[in-house]
Amino acid sequence: MSIKKTIAIASAKGGVGKSSITSFLAKKLSRDFSVGILDADIYGPNQHIIFDVTSAKPQIIEEEHKKKFIPLNVDGIGLNSMGFILDNKKAAIWRGPMLSGAIKQLSELTKWGDLDYLLIDMPPGTGDAYLTVASEIKPDGAILVTTNCKLAVSDTLKSVEVFNKLNLPCMGFILSMADDSQGKFILSTDEVQKILGTKFLGSIPFCNEIKNFNFDSIDDSFFGIVDNITNA
């Protein structure tokens, strides 16, 4: 099993589009590369819903006296998610060590096979999930997702600080649900870039195709972002 590049898609701010962008990037990347998604959002896993496999389960095999997961194949993308393990209807109320243990096991016990890219859909916040992912999975880099709202950028800056502390290289940021509106709390791309101090990878418009996960019409904006990622 070899994974060439592991990338965490992250932001301390909730609801900015991390899971949506992860799924579209995976779809776009999977045209030319072998790709896996690890949904590390213990509290609100979404990838199994996005790919419409809520009743599916990854195959479990026994190897060296350990149970291992074969990731689910969704349109050629390998997927493993806490969503396959948790009861969909029950919210996970877990303490830090349990949360860390779950992410660690999910990552260690998944037989990804050979992948060019493993994308990790991170939960919001900057807590235990980040520590576990940084120390146990050791991604090659993290991509930040933020909207151009001042509040989202302020929270996303906290992620930058955490990544710096954890020595996790920041590959840049994606401006999500971007629009041209202006106002006191709406920042320009340049302003966002200055605050976050990291590379601008591209912006994704607010549109219904993305909201509906219509992968047949992958927005052009993902092409430039994927080029930036694959050339990094």
Ligand X SMILES: Nc1ncnc2c1ncn2[C@@H]1O[C@H](COP(=O)(O)OP(=O)(O)OP(=O)(O)O)[C@@H](O)[C@H]1O
Residue 37 binds which of ligand X, Mg ion, none (CB < 5-8 A, kind-dependent): none
Beta carbon of residue 7, minimum distance to Mg ion (angstroms, whole number)? 15
Beta carbon of residue 24, minimum distance to ligand X (angstroms, whole number)? 9
Please pick, from the candidates 3, 5, 14, 158, the single residue that binds ligand X as defined by CB under 6 A. 14
Please pick, from the candidates 7, 8, 10, 17, the single residue that binds ligand X as defined by CB under 6 A. 17
Which amino acid is it at 63?
A: E
Per CB under 6 A, the segment of 9-17, 51-59, 72-80, 166-174 that binds ligand X is: 9-17
Identify which of residues 21 and 115 has a Cβ nearer to ligand X in the complex. Answer: 21
Q: Is 113 in the site for ligand X (CB under 6 A)?
A: no
Per CB under 5 A, the segment of 12-20, 25-33, 53-61, 164-172 that binds Mg ion is: 12-20
Q: Is 18 in the site for Mg ion (CB under 5 A)?
A: yes
Q: Which two tokens stand for residue 209?
A: 């195709």
Per CB under 6 A, the segment of 39-47, 131-139, 152-160, 185-193 that binds ligand X is: 39-47
Which amino acid is it at 228?
A: N
Beta carbon of residue 68, minimum distance to ligand X (angstroms, whole number)? 27
Q: Is 159 in the site for ligand X (CB under 6 A)?
A: no
Per CB under 6 A, the segment of 8-16, 93-101, 184-192, 223-231 that binds ligand X is: 8-16
Q: How far apart are CA 124 and CA 36, in angstroms?
A: 20
Q: Is 155 in the site for ligand X (CB under 6 A)?
A: no
Please pick, from the candidates 41, 53, 159, 202, the single residue that binds ligand X as defined by CB under 6 A. 41
Residue 3's nearest CA partner among 74, 99, 107, 84 is: 107
Output the CA torsion 193→44→7→223 (10° steps): -70
Please pick, from the candidates 11, 19, 81, 146, the single residue that binds Mg ion as defined by CB under 5 A. 19
Q: Which residues bind ligand X (CB under 6 A)?
A: 14-20, 41, 44, 46, 124, 176-177, 204, 206-207, 210-211
Q: Which residues bind Mg ion (CB under 5 A)?
A: 18-19
